[in-house]
Structure 1
């Protein structure tokens, strides 16, 4: 199997595929910080492409394994997101199933990770709206679609990369959550409503100079419960509100703006039920990004970790069912 982490091997592979030619001018630079994949950017003739290959063992402290064949899921989901929100999703060029290699178009080099903007206190509500518009559009379009359900029927990667490291691992640390955790796992395994991205985060959204967005990383996509995406995504806004208390109100206002926008546009299922479920899942995701296998790297203060844990447990105990109530709880706890 081709190992794209070997530069010479990757160049030979791309040459064989006709992506770069003998003697042709191009640049090839590896991307850093990838946990689940090895990735590199190729630029030639003013066009930027990204090549990526799934890691069988993820680059985290804990042992965490996943089938590299998940790149097939990435390619298929990328194509579907591109079908419904082409302005925000780069097109796939090819997928090599034998070597688990995906090649797609890439965003311009002068874009910035939305996560970077947020951590620098740049809270652009228009960007936030575009991220929600894209997400809910895909959820709406793929709802109750038997063909997409068939393509994404295998949710084993979702188990390997989300349920096991985020929820099951967490229950080992918090046995008092066992009953709720098991109910949540069963729900996520059995509710088959729409296409779920399952890694929709500010890290996987690039912001272009014109403030358009580019959505990345579809390898955990499956046909399941779309409220997981909303909880998983908004968790990152909540975590940043606790981490950057001077902008707490702004982050929590963005949280409410995003969730209000989502439910206004949502045209599948029952909105009140979906919101209540999202809030509960959010609490578990908050704990998971502190004490799960993949804790957020920017929260290093024990005081902040304790705050997030307290916020999550209070959210679960309170019976809160709306993001508006959750926002008030978070603001009070972050500023008391």
Structure 2
């Protein structure tokens, strides 16, 4: 099995595929930050590409195993979102290799930055948040227009179970027993709710921001036909976390979290039923997961995680009636 993080191995592999010329020595750089894949940037005479290889054991402190065959789902997901969204809103798919759990895509030219880094650096803007909401809403609405074709392709929940429902929800229920009944009921509801294509990692770390503030969506390995409320709730949990973390812009970021929620709901309307209540529940569960699940947010220390978990549990017990009320309740005491 090739190891793409070894430059000599990857260079030989790309030469064998005819991507890199025999006499050429490409520039290869391992990209860090992800836990589920080996990811490498390759720059050569023909341009730049990103090569990803799925891991069987994630790079986190607790054991987390997922079949690397999911690489095929990510390749299919990338091709699907590339077709659904406007040109340039995803990388372009290049090739896949089932035998080595590899797929490749075009590299997004520099300069760019992740929305996560911009937010943590205090550089969030209303424009970025509105475009974040618009991109998510477009993905959900456009997929629904092609439901007959997409639903059977993404009907399996296997990887959503192993990468979200178990490590985010079921595991968190064992760590926060006072929220266990709430979480298990949400797991059951989520399995039953199948409305449109769900990315399941539509978060600021998977959004690249270009110099003109256009956004590019990355990482498609948990795509499934499910409840769009999960995407919105997970994204909102991350925006709330950034609000708590970036004290100097807390009032602005709380307003941005409310803006994100309102912009998304305005664009989808009643398409997906009683959506707001489901988003509230997913946002609470995802926030708990990011401080008590298998992969906690790295920018909080343990006392901060404990405080966030306690505040989230308080809200689980009373369930705010609106997303605005949820944002206010989770951010006002920090």
Aligned equivalents of 2:63 and 2:306: distance in 1?
25
The structure 1 residue matched to 2:251, chosen from 234, 249, 252, is 249
1: CA distance, partners of 2:270 / 2:188: 21
Structure-to-structure mapping, 1:202-241, within 5 angstroms: 202-241=204-243
- Return the alpha-carbon distance in structure 1 between the equivalents of residues 219 and 119 of structure 2: 19
Structure 1 counterpart SS, 2:250: helix
Aligned equivalents of 1:222, 1:152: Cα separation in 2: 5
Which residue is equivalent to 1:163? 165
Q: Mapping of 1:1-16 within 5 angstroms?
A: 1-16=1-16
1:261-294 Cα shifts (integer Å, max 9, x gaps): 10111156355x2111101111111111111110
Q: In structure 2, what is the equivalent of residue 197 of structure 1? A: 199
| Superposition map of 1:32-111 within 5 A | 32-45=32-45, 47-85=47-85, 86-111=87-112
Q: 1:250-289, aligned counterparts within 5 Å? A: 250-267=252-269, 269-270=271-272, 273-289=274-290
Task: Report the Cα distance in structure 2 between the residues aligned to 1:26 and 1:178, rounded to whole angstroms.
Answer: 50
Kindly state the Cα deviation for residue 167 of structure 1 after the two structures are TM-superposed. 0.8
Alignment of 1:93-172 (within 5 A): 93-143=94-144, 145-172=147-174
Question: Which 4+ runs in 1 deviate beyond 3 A?
Answer: 267-271
| CA drift at 1:104 | 0.4
Give deviations 1:85-108, integer Å, cap 9, x for gaps. Answer: 223111101111121111101111
Does the aligned pair in 1 maintain the 2:115–2:209 contact within 8 Å?
A: yes
Q: Is the 8 A contact 1:3 1:9 kept in 2?
A: yes
Superposition deviation, residue 109 in structure 1: 2.8
Q: Is the counterpart of residue 293 in structure 1 residue 322 in structure 2?
A: no
Q: Distance in 2 between matches of 1:3 and 1:154?
A: 28
Cα displacement (A) at 1:223: 0.9
1:329 & 1:171 partners in 2: Cα distance? Answer: 22
| 3-state SS of 2:99 partner | coil
CA distance in 1, matches of 2:179, 2:326: 19
TM-score of the aligned structures, taking structure 1 as reference length: 0.94
| Whole-angstrom distance in 1 between the partners of 2:53 and 2:270 | 34
What is the CA distance between 1:42 and its match in structure 2? 1.0
Q: Name stretches of at least 5 consecutive residues in structure 1 with no aligned partner.
A: none
When normalised by structure 2's length, the TM-score is 0.95
State how far apart, in whole Å, the 2-side matches of 1:282 and 1:293 are: 17
Query: What SS does structure 1 have at the residue aligned with 2:333?
Result: helix
What number of residue pairs does the alignment pair up? Answer: 332
Secondary structure in 2 matching 1:169: helix
Q: Report how far residue 135 of structure 1 moved.
A: 1.0
Deviates further, 143-152 or 64-73: 143-152
Matched, 1:319 2:308: no
In 2, the alpha carbon distance for the partners of 1:328 and 1:63 equals 35
* Greater mean alpha carbon deviation, residues 306-315 or residues 290-299: 306-315
CA shift digits 1:301-327 (9 cap, x unpaired):
51x223312321222122312111112
Contact 1:140–1:267 under 8 Å retained in 2: no
